[in-house]
Structure 1
């Protein structure tokens, strides 16, 4: 964690080393006796180490996976560098195991490590082991204190089917669907209590038939639970798929305009979920197999239940932070996680009553009745969700930290699931609220907890004794951007190396598992390899503020100043910069749905497609010649020299903007009001010189003496820009013009404006200087011209804070083609299909399934060819064209492939046509000519 010292609220007294407090009541909650073994990785591991130490805990150990050695070449991981005792680092093959048998082995290995090394507690962070009921129960049975919800809570709340039933019993709103597909499948074979009793006897299940529930479906669930305990299967995946297909068909008839979502009960973090499109019920079986394979529950005795739910099409994904001690339960505000893609969250925003009330007051002051109504409804919805979350927490005996997840559709909300672990985005909440624990007999005798990890340790150590705390406000708002190893189309991109990362700036909170720590001896940045074995997250960037606007502005400034370099490095840093500025330019109170990001990316792809067709150098020459031709003979030579001097001043930032479409999106978004289209031509509402200054700043290319020239404005260009700014600053004090349009009008008149104390000759000199400074600036009009050509500004925020998405941006074909524009496929020979990304290769759906394609098979465009697992996500790769497989070039499933590696040798049905360099140049010049007419 970096640069967080300023977050300490001076009104809050907080001391994590509670044993050092003078109060006897406070001292009883000392946690220095805890000896935790950390069995997770990522930012949460480093955060836990830091928090434990601040609490006075010294006996700390961590697991180190074999795969961890991939990310640090010839160097120790930061977590290892802060571990003083190398004997507290314990090596395992991986953290979870690839299947049930390996998971059980890993659990026993962890228990053995704890016993042999004096650990009395286990911390699993937000890894999947943290909500594995079997693992938690095993730790409890071994006498270890699990720092997280107990196994009962994990079972009742963590399994999605159990959680849905509990929600219904406690009056929590849930989405329509079925949560007991496995029970329904079992009852097809064994349709009554007598048949179930006979099954128990036949399979020797550890269950007394006399204790079967009177309700038939509940009795089937009891039998299934016993089968999982024994490790036998009572149904096949084919039978389960048939049941689910039937349920999907029924839901499609009831809700013909909605898609259907399938979710593995043990999934999470985007894994184990698929959405079936309208009319795709026949693909349900295929999706079930994909889901079970992805969450690794294909083994004998695994619980293979898959939920079938109505997909709410205008979904906002919101979640409530909940905390409890098994007796009391309370909420800590909400988080909006709607900005996500492939179920992977990208930008998370706090949702608090305090912030909503501030926004409501502002909307009322501005007389915005529509926005006022929306905010009033949001306040009501948040209050309801917080109340339901606390009640649900009590119903499942929540004794730690968990998250109550909901989907919100305007004035309705539905409970989705409870994640029985701390979540990646937990700091969004803890930066808004702290917890004040007070002596019931003396309210002044208290302590305050600002960290949810600290709260988890306290609850694990002293849960029953802890009184229900009061939440204390720290900041009204916070925002978190997940920095991921993804390319410009947000596809996982493994294998890159971070060779440099600038230090965190003031106001930036960076959780990066210690990547940014320099070598303590040499102060050299330690290179970090982004390995495909893990999820794509690199770091969490957070900002706080008095308002949401403050947070977004600080986030934009944080990303603006962030510099990251490396080999084969692809991250979503530029995406976040563009997205945050899109909201700053539109409305930071906008209510995006979970379906926003893909259309937004598509719009950015359209910007890049247009930008690729512009030959900027050719445009500059043409525009320069136009200006020279329009000048008189006396001024033409001087103007040519001036334009030559301004060549790099204008083209360098424009070239960068056209190369980076996410930066172009951000800059256009905050400058949408800077121009007006008049008769098909761009007319600036602001001085282009000031826009150019802002562009250099936006690109973090401000002049810094001594800094590398490649990353800033060049010195002679800086001098020209400084002179221009000084000229217009002085001019603004002379001319009584209200805006740039009025200034231009006055400067175009040879008569000295009334009230301006200049001679005619002096006025002519001013006009000449103005023409010189503005010369060449018309090239900047290419930026808004691109926005106009693509209809970029049609993607906009409505008065009711919903986002108007043009229909074209929802077209799957356009979305697919623009993803390829953002990240062109690797260049391949006409007789090859090559890997678009690195990862682990699988040629079939499941280990038991047939291969997608074999030697001699013919395939059509759109047919599945293989699966590549990249950073824990399974991505099915489809044929881009039709052809015949001549040779399979990857030996077997589980092989690691690299980006650009040939996977199949093929014979295409049609010859692939590739443009020649001459054809590309001619196409670009032709497209550029069209833009020149608007400039």
Structure 2
């Protein structure tokens, strides 16, 4: 049994984990930076400890500070949330050596999936289709040009390490590739300590659809159906929904079975997500695997009735999954939008003082907030300040509820992307389900440029 969990994270995901722990009667420990000392999650926890200055290297990424706090507090498990240390195999090993359970997969699986190149190779061995591209790292921009001409432009240049769209860029010409290769490799080295780059053919009119997985240490693995995450800006998701309105029941079943097969081939244990690109003919190709809980997990919880954090904890305790595949059913339709402190036209971050903050309320409306009224949004972290999740009997009802909720979502003192989300929710192409990865560039940006 797990009795006390340290949450090695911040913001809404820290608060989210704390809520489930309270439900289960598990004590919680929060760690926070100087910039987050007034954040809601800090006071929600049973205990809280200051890590250090705002910079992540001196706080949320500093394992030499986190581990002693875990031992001092008597925590017998650590939940890493998403981002930060959540996919750091060395940290998982550190926890194991200290006799503290890491709520996530094993370090070796994490390391393998943390490299997009190694993950691609592993998926090919498991029989999962992959996008046409390079088999390994590309050594130079000259080699990249040769490969790009063979694959055919446009191509997607990607950093092997990391995520969140960092080191990723669409390239259409040789000249663009020369410039992009060096800049993205340098950026990846800065953020992840690894500048290795690879390339894949860019699929036109593709959709970003992912499968949520749960797997225990007893050999059981199931999927919780799919999430459609195609509406993105800067290669980062903004709107997510479940189930997808695009794929057929047959494709849904094949994607789920393929993801489960891959998880079992990896010996995967915990919650995880396999992301796919799906073309217009519903052919799907492996994109990446996230060996952690996802930002968008609430939409899956809403349509399945499951608590994914609770399942993570059960699995970490060595228990079998509480359900079997035949028990998982889709109930209704859920949509999540990410609320960012950013300019809705340029997408640049907009830190500052929140002078007023009010959340929408009502049946089938769920809020995951990282801030409160009077909170100061700093420039040190990702600008997401909350998530709004709605559920309807069907997609049309969910969209109507989303539009109503956005009208009453109040954030004053800083710019947010709420105007953008209102525009998307009201767009005919969104209502019709035409939500490809090019949605923002094709429909949203032209609208604001002409206004």
Partner of 1:487: 343
- Structural RMSD (CA): 2.4
Alignment of 1:733-752 (within 5 A): none
Q: Secondary structure at the match of 1:418?
A: strand
The answer on whether the counterparts of 1:347 and 1:482 sit within 8 Å (CA) in structure 2 is yes
1:425 maps to which of 292, 296, 321: 296
Q: Secondary structure at the match of 2:317?
A: helix
| Structure of higher RCO (CA pairs closer than 8 Å, 6+ residues apart) | 2
Q: Secondary structure at the match of 1:162?
A: helix
Equivalenced residue count is: 447
Alignment of 1:751-790 (within 5 A): none
Partner of 1:462: 318
The answer on whether the counterparts of 1:154 and 1:420 sit within 8 Å (CA) in structure 2 is yes
The answer on whether the counterparts of 1:264 and 1:295 sit within 8 Å (CA) in structure 2 is no
Determine the C-alpha separation between the residues in 2 that align with 1:540 and 1:340: 15
Determine the C-alpha separation between the residues in 2 that align with 1:91 and 1:169: 42
Determine the C-alpha separation between the residues in 2 that align with 1:564 and 1:498: 7
User: Do structure 1's residue 379 and structure 2's residue 271 form an aligned pair?
Assistant: no
Q: Deviations over 1:779-807 (max 9, x none)?
A: xxxxxxxxxxxxxxxxxxxxxxxxxxxxx
Partner of 2:39: 77
Determine the C-alpha separation between the residues in 2 that align with 1:472 and 1:63: 35
**Residues 602 and 137 of structure 1, relative CA distance in 2, 3 Å threshold:** same
Q: Secondary structure at the match of 1:462?
A: coil
User: Do structure 1's residue 330 and structure 2's residue 222 form an aligned pair?
Assistant: yes
The answer on whether the counterparts of 1:63 and 1:92 sit within 8 Å (CA) in structure 2 is no
The answer on whether the counterparts of 1:160 and 1:266 sit within 8 Å (CA) in structure 2 is yes
User: Do structure 1's residue 413 and structure 2's residue 284 form an aligned pair?
Assistant: yes
Q: Deviations over 1:699-726 (max 9, x none)?
A: xxxxxxxxxxxxxxxxxxxxxxxxxxxx
> What TM-score, normalized to structure 2?
0.92
**Residues 270 and 387 of structure 1, relative CA distance in 2, 3 Å threshold:** same
Q: Deviations over 1:451-472 (max 9, x none)?
A: 1111111110124586746443
Gaps of at least 5 residues in structure 2 are none
- Which structure has the larger Rg over C-alpha atoms? 1
Determine the C-alpha separation between the residues in 2 that align with 1:107 and 1:418: 24
User: Do structure 1's residue 91 and structure 2's residue 91 form an aligned pair?
Assistant: no
Partner of 2:26: 57
> What TM-score, normalized to structure 1?
0.46
Partner of 1:510: 367
Determine the C-alpha separation between the residues in 1 that align with 2:179 and 2:45: 50
Gaps of at least 5 residues in structure 1 are 1-30, 70-75, 182-239, 298-302, 357-374, 435-449, 517-525, 609-935
Q: Secondary structure at the match of 1:287?
A: helix
Q: Secondary structure at the match of 1:487?
A: coil
Determine the C-alpha separation between the residues in 2 that align with 1:67 and 1:179: 42
The answer on whether the counterparts of 2:367 and 2:389 sit within 8 Å (CA) in structure 1 is yes
Partner of 1:573: 418
Partner of 2:122: 166
User: Do structure 1's residue 539 and structure 2's residue 386 form an aligned pair?
Assistant: yes
Determine the C-alpha separation between the residues in 2 that align with 1:387 and 1:455: 20
The answer on whether the counterparts of 1:482 and 1:537 sit within 8 Å (CA) in structure 2 is yes
User: Do structure 1's residue 401 and structure 2's residue 271 form an aligned pair?
Assistant: yes
Determine the C-alpha separation between the residues in 1 that align with 2:91 and 2:392: 39
The answer on whether the counterparts of 1:157 and 1:396 sit within 8 Å (CA) in structure 2 is no
Shift of 1:553: 0.4
**Residues 67 and 292 of structure 1, relative CA distance in 2, 3 Å threshold:** same
The answer on whether the counterparts of 1:475 and 1:544 sit within 8 Å (CA) in structure 2 is no
Determine the C-alpha separation between the residues in 1 that align with 2:180 and 2:338: 32
The answer on whether the counterparts of 1:433 and 1:471 sit within 8 Å (CA) in structure 2 is no
Partner of 2:212: 321
Q: Secondary structure at the match of 1:511?
A: strand
Shift of 1:605: 2.3
The answer on whether the counterparts of 1:314 and 1:409 sit within 8 Å (CA) in structure 2 is yes
The answer on whether the counterparts of 1:164 and 1:417 sit within 8 Å (CA) in structure 2 is yes
Q: Deviations over 1:371-411 (max 9, x none)?
A: xxxx6x63332222111110111111111011100111112
Shift of 1:602: 3.0
Partner of 1:621: none
Q: Deviations over 1:302-349 (max 9, x none)?
A: x44322222223221111111101412111111111100111111111
Determine the C-alpha separation between the residues in 2 that align with 1:64 and 1:349: 31
Partner of 1:348: 240
**Residues 109 and 561 of structure 1, relative CA distance in 2, 3 Å threshold:** closer
The answer on whether the counterparts of 2:359 and 2:408 sit within 8 Å (CA) in structure 1 is no
Q: Deviations over 1:109-138 (max 9, x none)?
A: 222221222111111101231001121122
Alignment of 1:227-626 (within 5 A): 243-256=139-152, 258-279=153-174, 280-297=176-193, 303-326=194-217, 327-351=219-243, 378-411=248-281, 412-434=283-305, 450-463=306-319, 468=324, 470-473=326-329, 475-507=331-363, 508-513=365-370, 515-516=371-372, 526-566=373-413, 569-583=414-428, 586=429, 588-608=431-451
The answer on whether the counterparts of 1:292 and 1:304 sit within 8 Å (CA) in structure 2 is yes
Q: Secondary structure at the match of 1:483?
A: strand
- Which structure has greater strand proportion? 2
Partner of 1:68: 36
